A and B are shown apart, each in its own frame.
Chain A
Amino acid sequence: MNNFQRLEEEQARLYDASRRRDVQENLSQTFGLFKFIGQIVDVYLPAMIGVLVSAAGGKGPDGRNQGLNRPPSEGGEHPGKVGPHPPNGDAPRR
């Protein structure tokens, strides 16, 4: 070990426990914030893009033209039979 490296060790000792803890806490907060922003972007960005595309009259992710998707009462196509299918045969007896 030369004197440059001894000087490094000496100066590293100035980085005491209190400084170490302060910086570590600040970094944890910063990364926590970044993670939170990342999660928000992950969840909401695709939905926001979908809304913007729909508003502009483009097709949504399922390929349908969102702008023309009207209810049947306004002249849109009826989606057909909806709701749960009836069970086949009789319900099992107890």
Chain B
Amino acid sequence: MKDLEVIHHYLDTQASRCFNLLYERYAGKIYSKCISMLKEEALAQDATQEIFTKIFLNLSRFGEKSKFSTWVYSITYNYCIDFLRRKKKQKNIFSDEMEKAPEPVDDGTSEKELLEMEIGQLKVVLDNIPAGDRAVLLMKYQDGMSIKEIADILDKTESAVKMKIKRAKAKAQETKKELFKEQPI
């Protein structure tokens, strides 16, 4: 049964079977994103619960303009971003110093290196870069979202998102070099 069929059936009948089906499909992925964003298992568990509550309370507003998974992940990222914003009392985690930094040179190698980074290192690198950078890298490389989809979620222009991704990749490379200095043989 496809997501859309389950959603329509749930909206018609409020059957708990439909709720359980969507929960089984998305709970693990939502939890994983929450762990990446919030870095604490207990916070991620609470966030997963809150996000599911939001999803089901707003299910009738899902306009089917995007894939259901994209809509679910947009709620997930926005929840995590809002949570971090409240925690840090920072107005906008996307308007940090990086916004004013000069444009990094992207010769295409940074993306390849990023995607081929060993999983353990990737996790450490993601944990050590700013939340805004982490979010855009996850949206692009984990969820395979388009620039437009990311721009819609973050309420930014597409060119601002492209710039943000470029800077996030540079930041990730820089962080990897700092944290995992190559050992001389």
Contact = CB atoms under 8 A, between A and B. Distances in A.
Contacts of B117: 3
B19 A31 contact: yes
B27 A23 contact: yes
Nearest to A22: B45
B49 A7 contact: no
Nearest to A5: B142
A35 B56 CA distance: 12
A8 B32 contact: yes
Interface string B4-32: 00000000001010011001000111011
Contacts of B86: none
Contact of A23 (B35, B41, B48, B119): B48
Interface residues of A, number: 26
A19 interface: yes
Interface in A60-94: none
Could you tell me the dominant secondary structure of chain A's interface residues? helix
B122 to A, nearest CB: 5
Interface of A: 2-15, 19-20, 22-24, 26-28, 30-31, 34-35
Interface of B: 14, 16, 19-20, 23, 27-29, 31-33, 35-36, 41, 45, 48-49, 52-53, 56-57, 115-119, 122-123, 126, 137-138, 141-142
Given A3-B118, A12-B32, 8 more contacts: A3-B122, A7-B32, A7-B119, A10-B119, A19-B31, A23-B48, A23-B49, A26-B49
